[in-house]
Structure 1
Amino acid sequence: MHARVVAASAVAVLAVVALVNPTSDARAGEVRTPLVIGHRGAPAYAPENTLPSIDKAARVGSTWVENDVQRTKDGELVVVHDDSLQRTTDVKRVFPGRAPWKVKDFTAAEIARLDAGSWFSPAYKGTRVPTLDQYMRRVEHNHQSLLLEVKNPELYPGIERQILKTLGNDGWLDRPHLKRLVVQSFSADSVRTVHELKPALTTAYLGAPPVSQLKQYARFADLINPSYGSLSKSYVSAVHGVRGAHGRPLGVYAWTVDDKATALKVAGYGVDGIISSKADVVRAALRGR
């Protein structure tokens, strides 16, 4: 047991080094292997954004996982991707008269009644939508690191401050944990707000801003995380040529890469990280290149 914990911690440290200085190997002229992040945990093997999913991610070697955070009607932060509960829970059966079943229209107690696993497999019947607090405790238990997405912030005014409060209460805003945490969003305003509230925190913008605008994003972001289909080697190089909010070259994490050919192609562009729903497949591909 002790040996497994030490090994997991060592891998996590290596992942942190890659995050903190993502372009150091490139400057040294060495071949860099991107960090691989488990997209919503391990959704090829367990229901996405659930505790079983990040447990499975840990078992297949993911020291970093990604999730999505939204807010219930009564102000609880929950980990779920869609703004509707319909796709990944049995909400339509439990609450048939409440279409379109938006997360923001249900209380935390109501969401806690939902089955978030049976849609994926009968083996996961009874799996629940986790609160952010529950999720962070499990990430800590698994010795994992987290890429946290502020999802649909326009629906939840003030969610950035609330997320940071929860992270702080769970001990995730001290110096050691800040090396294991990145907050990202598709909303530049949301990323900027997080940076202003907690300047020491690593932040990422989801998207591919024009090269001419990268310096603007670099004022509040450390990473630019685009869809892999929007990437090119020249774009990655341009991003690396701009220093981010903490004075380091901007990093690039590409999403969502789930097969060997795409993983090798994107790695060839020089990206610093790859977000994948099949992180074990991507890591194997990169090891064998």
Structure 2
Amino acid sequence: MRIRPVATVAAGALLGLSALVLSPAAQAAPHGHPPVTVAHRGAASYAPENTLASIDAADRLGFRWVENDVQRTKDGELVILHDSSLARTTNVEQVYPGRSPWNVSDFTLREIEKLDAGSWFGAKFKGEQVPTLEDYMDEVEHNDQSLLMELKSPELYPGIERETLRELRSVGWLNSAHLKDRLVIQSFSADAVKTVHKLQPEVRTGYLGNPSVADLPRFAKYCDQINPVHTVVTREYVAAVHGLKGPHRRPLDLYTWTVDDPATAVKVAGLGVDGIISNKPDVVRAAVGGDEDD
């Protein structure tokens, strides 16, 4: 584990929340309680996304569930980053100017560890690093958080499903306590989700997208969640998802993304979604209520 700078949540993130009123419509969730709020890439509006500082910010705000993205380096190490390129969220262009397009898969872990993944967001985050999956899981465990993990662009990284499961096993995250209610693995790739289910059937899985209602029974064979963008969610689609049971014989859940404003949060909560993924989880929670430990 490395030593990293201590970062505090921006004061503005905590102001004005009392002015948001809990909407009765938002409490019309299907199971009688408001949806779970998931901190997208950590509390990504308040700290650099997909860093340890970001999940720590989510923890200080009181959020149990965080979301991240897993990719693989040139030398086979698993790291947490959203884009396939390092350019947007690190200083890679300055450190390695001749190596465009700066794809994660073209750099070793040792090279990536030399990058600053925090300064682009704010000076107080200078020195924050791209975390390895191992370090990230250590921090999630330390914070007693739960993880919605995305396998990002698995078609670029053949075998990443097995490697991710191996890493999770090595850090103790495939035991019954974690599998019960602390881990979901999701992807935009149905094949990757299916592979995870085949390799480790006990793991809860989610598909990022909105399959047609006719196709939902096929996805229910290996998915526990259907997780579409919020702009396509309808009450009828939510009902169709909830009408099926997943591989663990429980009704499918629907988590929607990425919702950062109160009005949209109230709207999708009223449609009956089970979870809302947000860069501003505090804003969503203030709008729809709920407890992060649900």
Match of 1:140 in 2: 141
Query: What is the Cα deviation at residue 71 of structure 1?
Result: 0.1
| Residue 152 of structure 1 pairs with residue 153 of structure 2 | yes
Query: What is the Cα deviation at residue 31 of structure 1?
Result: 3.4
Match of 1:193 in 2: 195
Match of 2:21 in 1: none
- Report sequence identity in percent: 62
Query: What is the Cα deviation at residue 113 of structure 1?
Result: 0.3
Residue 147 of structure 2 aligns to a residue whose secondary structure is strand
User: Which letter maps to 2:270?
Assistant: G
Match of 2:169 in 1: 168
User: Which letter maps to 1:61?
Assistant: G
Match of 1:259 in 2: 261
Query: What is the Cα deviation at residue 32 of structure 1?
Result: 2.2
Distance, in Å, in 1 between the alignment partners of 2:206 and 2:30 is 25
User: Pairwise mapping of residues 80-159 of structure 1 onto structure 2 (< 5 A)?
Assistant: 80-159=81-160
Residue 276 of structure 2 aligns to a residue whose secondary structure is strand
* 4+ long deviations beyond 6 Å: none
Query: What is the Cα deviation at residue 61 of structure 1?
Result: 1.1
Q: Residues 29 and 192 of structure 1: is their aligned pair in 2 closer, same or farther, counting only changes over 3 Å?
A: closer
Q: Residues 66 and 239 of structure 1: is their aligned pair in 2 closer, same or farther, counting only changes over 3 Å?
A: same
Match of 1:276 in 2: 278
Distance, in Å, in 2 between the alignment partners of 1:109 and 1:81 is 19
Distance, in Å, in 1 between the alignment partners of 2:221 and 2:148 is 20
Cα RMSD, aligned residues only: 1.4
Match of 2:249 in 1: 247
Q: How many residues align?
A: 263
Q: Which has the higher contact order (CA 8 A, sep 6+)?
A: 2
Check whether the contact 1:195–1:203 (CA below 8 A) recurs between aligned residues.
Answer: yes
Match of 1:17 in 2: none
Check whether the contact 1:32–1:270 (CA below 8 A) recurs between aligned residues.
Answer: no
Q: Deviations over 1:161-213 (max 9, x none)?
A: 00000000000000001120000000000000000000011000000000000
Q: Deviations over 1:204-244 (max 9, x none)?
A: 00000000000000010000000000110110001101111
- Alignment gaps of 5+ in structure 1: 1-24
Distance, in Å, in 2 between the alignment partners of 1:29 and 1:258 is 22
Check whether the contact 1:40–1:68 (CA below 8 A) recurs between aligned residues.
Answer: yes
Query: What is the Cα deviation at residue 66 of structure 1?
Result: 0.2
Q: Going by fraction, where is helix more abundant, 1 or 2? A: 1
The TM-score with structure 2 as length reference comes to: 0.88
Distance, in Å, in 2 between the alignment partners of 1:39 and 1:200 is 24
Check whether the contact 1:73–1:107 (CA below 8 A) recurs between aligned residues.
Answer: yes
Distance, in Å, in 2 between the alignment partners of 1:56 and 1:122 is 16
Distance, in Å, in 1 between the alignment partners of 2:205 and 2:42 is 20
Match of 1:208 in 2: 210
Query: What is the Cα deviation at residue 30 of structure 1?
Result: 6.1
User: Which letter maps to 2:154?
Assistant: P
User: Which letter maps to 1:91?
Assistant: V
Query: What is the Cα deviation at residue 29 of structure 1?
Result: 7.3
Distance, in Å, in 2 between the alignment partners of 1:101 and 1:122 is 23
Match of 1:223 in 2: 225
| Residue 286 of structure 1 pairs with residue 288 of structure 2 | yes
Q: Deviations over 1:97-152 (max 9, x none)?
A: 00000000000000000000000000000000000000000000000000000000
Between stretches 68-77 and 278-287, larger displacement belongs to 278-287
User: Pairwise mapping of residues 35-74 of structure 1 onto structure 2 (< 5 A)?
Assistant: 35-74=36-75
Distance, in Å, in 1 between the alignment partners of 2:118 and 2:232 is 32
- Alignment gaps of 5+ in structure 2: 1-26
Q: Residues 243 and 59 of structure 1: is their aligned pair in 2 closer, same or farther, counting only changes over 3 Å?
A: same
Distance, in Å, in 2 between the alignment partners of 1:32 and 1:234 is 19
Distance, in Å, in 2 between the alignment partners of 1:129 and 1:122 is 16
Query: What is the Cα deviation at residue 267 of structure 1?
Result: 0.2
The TM-score with structure 1 as length reference comes to: 0.89
